[in-house]
Amino acid sequence: MTTLTNSLKARLKEPDALFGLWLSMGSSAAAEALTHSGFDWLCIDMEHSPNDSREVEHQLRAIEASHLPSEAVVRVPSHDAWQIKRALDVGARTLIFPGIDTAEQAAMVVRHTRYPDATHPDGLRGVAGSVRAAAYGSRRDYVQGANAQLAVIAQIESAQALANIDAIATTPGIDCLFVGPNDLMASIGHLGDSMHPDVEAAFMKVVEAAEAAGIASGIMATDASGARYFHEMGFRFISLGIDVVWLMRSTRQALQEARS
């Protein structure tokens, strides 16, 4: 049995936009249902949501069982090695790392996703052949092929990250730069003011750094119009929002319409 191919890693190199959604409810049923909506990717969030490694495992299984094109992504809560190891061992192939401020941090998280081998002699990922990612030991070539199938996305959320953006973008093993708009706006002194010229300039700086490095750039939008706006700016890996936000928005709207 061969190592499963990470289709998202390959698609990040293509010019087409990839639209996704954040999963924050810790629900495998919601994850399974949303694969049928046609998203290119679904991100299981461990940073600001009650998803631990067991919930991540259940949602990965639900997404994969649909046999649909949606690729699962996991945002880990920190740069801690044990958090990264658990996400990878339960089967995550694409990880988003919050708060990447320097090239050194980018290089370190990449090292924690790689098994040490001839190509990555400084890899720090611990080897365990019986984990879910290796089909519980049945996928015997997993360790040999896993490195090539892992995608690393660096989240850009601060003025410091902007100052180091070119070095982060060119760090070997980084596949995409992803803007956390709220934290980035706050860091540069414009919290909540997404239309400020300085904010737009900051966003464009990320897009341009990614393009120069030959990698993708992404961002969190809150609706379809925002996603179109960011796509026109040059972002290609775009979240249309968060599952619980869409749930609350649509149910409130329906209730208001019924009562009116």
Report the relative pairing of strands 94-97 and 237-242 from DSSP bridges. Answer: unpaired
Domain 16-259 indexed as CATH 3.20.20.60: yes
Do residues 40 and 20 touch, judged by C-beta distance below 8 A? yes
Find the catalytic residue in 36, 48, 120, 196.
Answer: 48
Report the relative pairing of strands 18-23 and 216-220 from DSSP bridges. Answer: unpaired
- Closest Cα partner for 47 from 69, 76, 73, 4? 76
Question: Is 196 assigned a catalytic role?
Answer: no
Rounded average pLDDT over 203-218: 98
Residue 205 and residue 254: Cα distance in Å, rounded?
Answer: 39
Convert the pLDDT of each residue in 76-103 to its tens digit: 999 999 999 999 999 999 999 999 999 9
Rounded average pLDDT over 198-203: 97
Confidence of residue 2 (pLDDT cuts 50, 70, 90): very low
Residue spans of the domains in the chain: they are 16-259
Identify the pLDDT of residue 1: 33
Residue type for 158, please?
S
Convert the pLDDT of each residue in 108-158 to its tens digit: 999 999 999 999 999 999 999 899 999 999 998 999 999 999 999 999 999
Convert the pLDDT of each residue in 25-82 to its tens digit: 999 999 999 999 999 999 999 999 999 999 999 999 999 999 999 999 999 999 999 9
